Chain A
Amino acid sequence: MAIRDLTTSQARRPFQRRRKTCPFSGPNAPKIDYKDVRLLQRYVSERGKIVPSRITAVSALKQRELAQAIKRARFIGIMPYAVN
């Protein structure tokens, strides 16, 4: 974290991406709801797998909540377990 902050303060190097923040933290963040398929859809891959938080930058706490919501949505048939 600290290292990345330093690099961004210098002349912006190419291929150095800005640190992403958790999309569920901070003001007007969406509420994780298992009924909200449109929201959950962004956090599963094309195959229907849950995307790891290191790619989506969701915080650990919210990722657990999100995973729970996706699993609930799968159970009631509004999201797939697997897409072939």
Chain B
Amino acid sequence: MALYEHIFLARQDVSAQQVEELTTALTEILTNNGGKVTKNEYWGVKTLSYRIRKNRKAHYSLLNIDAPHTAVAEMERQMRINEDILRFLTIRVDELEEGPSAMMQKRDRDDRDGDRGGRPDRGDRFGGERRPRRF
């Protein structure tokens, strides 16, 4: 079976509990079609960078899936019908991430960032729309 990372965005005026129900419903679809969900992460309500279907915020959830393609296709079909789901992204990966994803461990990353050297130097010099090549 193939491994997938799946992220979906639910409408902001849906409650966190409803999102949870949604996740269990999706998990059920997958298990009924011979797959399984190895990890389930709820990122909470996050502000979107741009408006999606007139929403400024959305509930984010991540699922790590080990399922045949048909199961995933069926789940995606149902997600498209559901109006509470704004958007979803399924990516096939070679191996699933263990433990919390980058999004969840953001807090501890803050202090680690300092000794890593931070941003690449001169990255900020790229500002203009059309400027001559530097080198």
Contacts and interface: CB of A to CB of B under 8 A. Distances in A.
Q: Name the interface size band of chain A.
A: 20 to 34
A72 B91 contact: yes
B126 A35 contact: no
Interface of A is mostly: loop
Contacts, number: 73
Interface stretch (B20-28, B65-73, B76-84, B102-110): B102-110
Contact of B46 (A36, A47, A74, A78): A78
B96 interface: no
Contacts of A33: 101-102
A74 B134 contact: no
Interface in A39-84: 39, 42-43, 45-47, 51-52, 54-57, 72, 74-81
A37 B103 CA distance: 8
A77 B126 contact: no
Given A33-B102, A39-B102, A75 B126 contact: no
Contact of A74 (B49, B103, B118): B49
Interface residues of B, number: 32
Contacts of B103: 35-37, 78
A38 B102 CA distance: 9
A20 interface: yes
Contacts of B135: 54
B87 interface: yes
Contacts of B109: 38
Interface centre among A35, A38, A56 (most CB of B within 10 A): A35
Given A46-B127, A76-B7, A77-B9, A35 B89 contact: no
Given A38-B113, A57-B120, A81-B49, 6 more contacts: A20-B120, A37-B103, A45-B127, A54-B135, A55-B134, A56-B120
